Structure 1
């Protein structure tokens, strides 16, 4: 399982580099960009002029939208500093009709130093929730643990008998019988402040026979149920039933419906609990006390694994691809990995190596049992590949002319251009001009030479009439491109600088959203190999420059 990718480099360049391979394939995107709070953090400088910040975000959001599946979901985590403006921006890029909602996430409680601040104490962040195409969007239904519903105050004491003879007793009486206690006062003395917990546990474990009665209008049920309802009103000593195909039956007593507590329960993280549908207020996932989650510290930046888990539960299935282009401490990749989703993460800061990689190694090894690990039964496994964004493929020479970057050797150049042109990079051991292929008869050849008409003729002869070849060269002379296509119909000629310039931005090293004071990795620094990782250093650096390819070092874990 090495579809997972951790990319070290600028996130805008990385997003553009991912487009060719992942356009229309990302099912869920979660990003937690700098909030533009005008404050300095340990790992980020977070202070931009307002319009600049919005422009930088827009650049990334536009690429992200192209990467998403038609029914894909986007979650943008933000505080109230830029909230209103970001909503307008996302409405413009995604379309207002594709805004699903705004989730209020209670991040902390009104305690500690912040509680003495004048005015309002800020405890909330927000998740802006969008889909690419609402008509194709089909979210999962998610439930969350809730409080016991005390309207369910009756228990069927003889549930095992035929329904017609069911007898109802009070909930407290049923609980006392189960606990073998004489009175409610005795129960209070025994359980003290845990009495409500014990009662709730009893209700959930007996949800199939805990009930309440509810009035129901005859017009609101089908003919069979209406008949049973009327009979129950006439004979108030018996329970009447109206079966339903594929659904739970209706039960009526004394002219009212018996509603079972079972409908209020769900299995959440392997435990049956009282549950309610998820709303747009998430106040049960406080992000305090999570400093040790994942085994890394990330002050003012780390988000709870449970928060990402909820986003993925809403929007994905196992095997779907999840993207986070502001990797931070690696929470999104960590959660996606544990939940069986494929993931892509991008991070520019040095904490890519100091935080994210160690965290992922511990997950692969099964050593990380923090966060959601126990809830999803995580025991380890999987793997990922580590990529480093390569330098620009095209640079200016000393006269200002675009030329091929001399940092690229022949293999790197061939792989870069094969990717740019949609070919699979696969150098032939026998045919020197076959550097890659798009089909069994269509090939690519890359060279930094200036090719003459004689060389092109010899190449055409070797390719033959049954095959075609894209020739990417520094230049060709002795013939024009138009004449070349007539003279050698099996060859297509492209000049490398020109073809790259027409496809990419170039000559940029950084599009960072955090331009100032972001630590960059040393040029020759590689992350240390991990215990479960079989590091396979590669002589080749797969690709690119400009926003189209990566240099890759493999980080492979156990299957």
Structure 2
């Protein structure tokens, strides 16, 4: 498969490995509504934030939508969109790698882009996600009118590149039928089966039994199908369909046969197409009006309309699924996700995470009626937690910071071992879980309630007994135990099927 080369590629493709794990520190005053909905708004660099999310959300995100800087050499207030080409690629690669790890096996990623970097993005995503997992490129007709000031062409569209985490598993949802589509169905002959429309009885595909003459009810002989065409069905099948009143000959019975298709027999939805007209999914002018209606001082120049995100989430998710946008911008993805009953994680850097995104999402919770609110029957509710990026879990020497709490370290230990996020039990236990026949335990930060100097962080016969008591009933497999040190001999560890790993030295600071 072709690969894309740029000046700093060798360093950039390893950049994600060197990103430290950082803590997510909740800011309760900036949260809103029901904090337990699972919705998160994070302020901070999205590369650091994505790494911080891995131990908790790897493999759990159903849909990722991102609208990264387009590298258009334009002066944006909120982004440095004037990135040199190789810098843009250096920025995108490690983020795409982390996003891939967060996607569920049946998940998909949608990236909004234009001609400046769109074709290079496709090649990079072929490498990161696998070329076989490319789904399609959607063309969004974003402009409401021609831009007459354009020097060459009025650029009326953007692209949305769509990749699946695993194309063998991922399937798009059908789109609901529109009123315009249903309006095509009539019932001029009062058929008791209801509304119907007619389709051509001929086709270009060769059919050996499809070249016969037909006599219509008015007695006119139709010598055969149009030149280069064939009747779709045999003469016998035509007679069967006609007897069932599934052939329309026109009001006077003197037309060519047309096949009746009943609305009641049409499948529930329609297959998504790759060209999205602004009449269906909105345009840039509509998007600007939406954000200005929420905040008259909003100066975002490139927001996306809520209807565009509604289309994406309708195809890619179901109610309750988790949606992630790591270039949240004006907050549209999160707003639409909440109105559609999806959970979300939004990441945005800079002050406007608090000055733009947080107020907008608070208005969503309060029931604002802009965008898709009426179509989604949105009345308000739900909520979110607000986070800022804090200190790294590990210091500059790779040692665990002394103030790190048990659940934080437990999540990192579990993820580094099994590459899946940790489900925090209630109550907490020194046994983190069992994966592929092996149990994992952690003696740290007084998890056993031990008040001694070591806080019960040493593996002894006593602490081992506590660990075994916390194992699932009947479990007799090997155990990996993390602790400050082990008081058991190597012979005892071998006999007990225990692999001991010492904290902090054996805890991976990066993964």
TM superposition score normalised by structure 2: 0.68
Which of 279, 288, 291 aligns to 1:291? It is 288
Shift in alpha-carbon separation, 1:407–1:122, aligned structure 2, 3 A: farther
Which of 485, 488, 491 aligns to 1:476? It is 485
TM superposition score normalised by structure 1: 0.63
Aligned length: 433
Q: Distance in 2 between matches of 1:323 and 1:417?
A: 24
1:303 to 2:288 alignment: no
Post-superposition shift, 1:264?
A: 13
1:485 to 2:487 alignment: no
Task: Tell me if the contact between 1:242 and 1:251 (Cα under 8 Å) persists in the aligned partners.
Answer: no
Q: Distance in 2 between matches of 1:268 and 1:359?
A: 34
Which of 52, 68, 78 aligns to 1:43? It is 78
Which of 117, 128, 142 aligns to 1:93? It is 128
Q: Deviations 1:99-131 (Å, cap 9, x if unpaired)?
A: 2222222222455xx632422233322111222
Q: Distance in 1 between matches of 2:92 and 2:180?
A: 40
Post-superposition shift, 1:133?
A: 2.9
Task: Tell me if the contact between 1:215 and 1:255 (Cα under 8 Å) persists in the aligned partners.
Answer: no
2:273 corresponds to: 278
1:463 to 2:469 alignment: no
Give unmatched runs, 5+ long, in structure 2.
1-35, 222-237, 447-451, 472-478
Task: Tell me whether 50-59 or 13-22 shows the greater mean CA deviation.
Answer: 13-22
- After TM superposition, the structure 1 = structure 2 runs for residues 79-478 of structure 1, keeping only pairs within 5 Å, are 79-109=114-144, 115-142=148-175, 159-160=189-190, 208=195, 214=200, 216=202, 232=217, 234=219, 242=240, 249-252=246-249, 253-254=253-254, 256-258=256-258, 278-284=273-279, 285-293=282-290, 295-296=294-295, 297-366=298-367, 368-396=368-396, 401-406=397-402, 408=404, 425=424, 434-435=429-430, 437-438=432-433, 443-447=441-445, 456-457=459-460, 459-460=462-463, 463=466, 472-473=482-483, 475-476=484-485
Q: Deviations 1:67-102 (Å, cap 9, x if unpaired)?
A: 323342221101211112111111222233332222
Q: Distance in 1 between matches of 2:469 and 2:338?
A: 46
Q: Distance in 2 between matches of 1:106 and 1:37?
A: 18
Task: Tell me if the contact between 1:7 and 1:346 (Cα under 8 Å) persists in the aligned partners.
Answer: yes
Task: Tell me if the contact between 1:216 and 1:256 (Cα under 8 Å) persists in the aligned partners.
Answer: no
Give unmatched runs, 5+ long, in structure 1.
164-206, 270-274, 506-559
Task: Tell me if the contact between 2:66 and 2:111 (Cα under 8 Å) persists in the aligned partners.
Answer: yes
1:498 to 2:505 alignment: yes
Q: Distance in 2 between matches of 1:101 and 1:219?
A: 26
Q: Distance in 2 between matches of 1:51 and 1:87?
A: 15
Structure number with bigger Rg: 1
Task: Tell me if the contact between 2:486 and 2:500 (Cα under 8 Å) persists in the aligned partners.
Answer: no
Task: Tell me if the contact between 2:164 and 2:170 (Cα under 8 Å) persists in the aligned partners.
Answer: yes
Q: Deviations 1:434-471 (Å, cap 9, x if unpaired)?
A: 556427x9753204999699964464476386567865
Post-superposition shift, 1:64?
A: 1.9
Q: Distance in 2 between matches of 1:149 and 1:490?
A: 66
Q: Distance in 2 between matches of 1:65 and 1:476?
A: 36
2:87 corresponds to: 52
Q: Distance in 2 between matches of 1:477 and 1:142?
A: 59
Task: Tell me if the contact between 1:29 and 1:75 (Cα under 8 Å) persists in the aligned partners.
Answer: yes
Q: Distance in 1 between matches of 2:394 and 2:376?
A: 46
Q: Deviations 1:352-405 (Å, cap 9, x if unpaired)?
A: 222222222222222x11111111211222233333333111113xxxx44332
